[in-house]
Structure formats: C-alpha cells, structure tokens
Amino acid sequence: MQTPSRQTLRGKKNLIYIIPHKAQKINILTGQIPALPILLKVLSYRHTAGRMLKSIGVEKVPYVEEICQAGRVRETRKYYTARYHKPGIQRQKNFRPTPKEQVHVNDRHAEMKLRRLLNANYGPGDFHITLTYRPEDRPSPEDVPAILEKFWRGMRKAYRAAGQELKYIVVTEWGKRGTVHHHLVVPQHDLREVRKLWPYGGMHVSVMDDTGQYAQLASYLIKQTRQSFRDGKYPFGRRWNSSRNLIKPKIKIEVVGRNSWRKEPKPLKGYYLEQSRTVNGEFFGFEYQFYSMVQIPEKQRRRC
C-alpha cells in the first residue's frame, strides 16, 4: 500500500509544519487545503482550535507531535488540542484555567523555552556566574539596564580579543530587602578578566557539567524571577535577556494521523531516554505525553 503524501511548510520562528494527506484520518469536507497552515499554527498551542477545525469540516482530530532538537537533547511532546474528542478519549468538562493554574502554565512554558536555549548553546566547561552588589552599591531598578549594558560592552571586547564569540543569557533576581543578583550563562573564558569588569560586588562561578541537559539550571533561573516578575518590580519586559546570536532550537511540528501513541517511548539509536522526565498525563483535559532523550557522546558509544 502506498504511503499517503505529505506537504511540508516552513513557518515563522523556525517551525516546520508537516501536513498529512487527507486520507490520513483527516476528513476535509470543504477541500480548503490552503487553510491548513493557519490551522496547524493554532492547533499547536491553543486547545480552542476545535471550533476552527469544525468550521472547515475536519471530522476527526489526530494528535500533534512536536519534536525539538536542542544541542544533544531531543524533546518530544504529543497532545490533542480540539474541544471535541476522538472516539474512546475521555475528556473532562470544558473549563478555563484558574489564575493560579495559568501562572503555573506560564512558568512551565518559560522554563521550557529557557531550557532549550541553554541546551542548544552551552556545554561542558561553560559558566553560570552570579554577580552580586555590595549594600552600598545596590542600584535602583531604573539604573540596572545601564549597568548591565556597560558590563556587556566590556565582555564583548574581552571575548573578541581572545578570538571567542560571546553568547549570553542573563536573569536578574530581586530580593525582598532590595538585594539584586544577576545570573549569567556564558562560554568559558578567563575569569580574571570577567572579575575586573564587575567592580560592584562579588562574583560566584559554577562550571557547567558534561551532560548536555541543563533542565535543572533553567528551572532554578525561572524560579529566581517568579515573584518579582509578577509584582511588577522587574525592570525588564522578559524573564531573561540574551544576546542575539544564540542558536535557535530546531522545532518540527507534525499532525499525526493515528489514534494513539506508545505509552513507553523508546530511545533512538545513539540516545538514552531520561526516564525521570517522561510524563504521561493530561493537558486541559486531553491526553498528553512528554519525553526527552540525550545523545550519547561518540567516545562513550565506542566503549559500549
């Protein structure tokens, strides 16, 4: 039997949409194939897409598979998104998330984005640096952007002189008593030069490990901004700031024309599955699965 053809479209933000042929359990009654790219973009993140699906005549909803390759880490998410369900799927009653639930969703989404950036851009030997201020040198929120901009100018100059490219992520933590800390993630460099560029207080350095998976660091950094970001005390519009030269994780989104997925995922060849991070649960009342696998370094593969 011939495999149904698929149409591949490249969308914004480095996303690839793979559209199944209508024979793959997607019954397009109206034949409005050009509407599908818009449909899939909505389908990716909004459970309200069910109304849109009905409006163009889609009778059955397959699941969405999102695969993200960030450095050595490959993450997969599988989920249904429409308000109606396929036969056999039990769904909770329609509901809107409470403000507390929405805060949790927003935190998880921010953590996912930051985790993927860290995994795609940093590796063993790179630095997580915490910069602090002496009590007498603590700045006001309005002064912080200028202080950081001066610091990054010096860092770019130092890295350039060493023939290195500076790629950075910075998260600012505001304490209840007016204390301020900056958490930086940067490529490895001569720490003596970095220290000279920060005359305002202390500098604490952690060296990143060789796992290639920096989920714990992403979770920690998002946690540091949680309260001040929502209190309106944060001087930046985002949870973190970064240089423009960061590598963007590669994301592929596919609508899969099958009724279910394997509950126990298997790792690809050359990867190992992170069992502790595998999730089979629900998202807005629909089945949901998440798992990640990490590429085994070539040297370790040869030993096996």
Q: What is the mean pLDDT of residues 285-302?
A: 84
Give residue 177's pLDDT.
Answer: 77
Domain edges within the chain: 6-90+248-303, 117-242
Give per-residue pLDDT as tens, 274-291.
999 999 987 766 788 999
Quick check: 217 and 169 in contact, CB under 8 A? no
Give residue 62's pLDDT.
Answer: 77
Which DSSP state fits 58? B
Which DSSP state fits 275? G
Give residue 3's pLDDT.
Answer: 42
State phi, psi for 181 to the nearest 5 degrees. -135, 145
Q: How far apart are CA 119 and CA 52, in angstroms?
A: 35
Tell me the three state secondary structure of residue 250. Answer: strand
Give per-residue pLDDT as tens, 220-253.
999 888 776 766 666 666 889 999 999 999 999 9
Residue where the block lists tokens 């798992």 = 291
Nearest to 171 by CA among 240, 243, 242, 223: 240
**How confident is residue 46, by pLDDT bands cut at 50, 70 and 90?**
very low
Residue where the block lists tokens 């290195």 = 164
User: Which segments of the chain are extended strands (E)?
Assistant: 6-10, 15-20, 63-70, 73-79, 127-132, 169-174, 180-186, 203-207, 241-242, 250-256, 271-273, 279-283, 286-295
Give 25 or 282, the one with higher predicted confidence.
282
Give per-residue pLDDT as tens, 105-125.
888 999 999 999 999 999 999
- Sign of the C-alpha dihedral computed for residues 281, 282, 287 and 288 taken in this order: negative
Quick check: 210 and 193 in contact, CB under 8 A? no
Q: What is the mean pLDDT of residues 198-214?
A: 97
Q: How far apart are CA 117 and CA 106, in angstroms?
A: 17
Quick check: 126 and 188 in contact, CB under 8 A? yes
- Most confident listed range (13-17, 189-193, 263-267): 189-193
Give residue 161's pLDDT.
Answer: 98
Q: What pTM does this model have? A: 0.75
Give residue 39's pLDDT.
Answer: 38
Q: Is the pLDDT of residue 81 over 80?
A: no
Q: Is the pLDDT of residue 140 over 70?
A: yes
Q: What is the mean pLDDT of residues 176-204?
A: 94
| Domain spanning 117-242, CATH architecture | 2-Layer Sandwich (3.30)
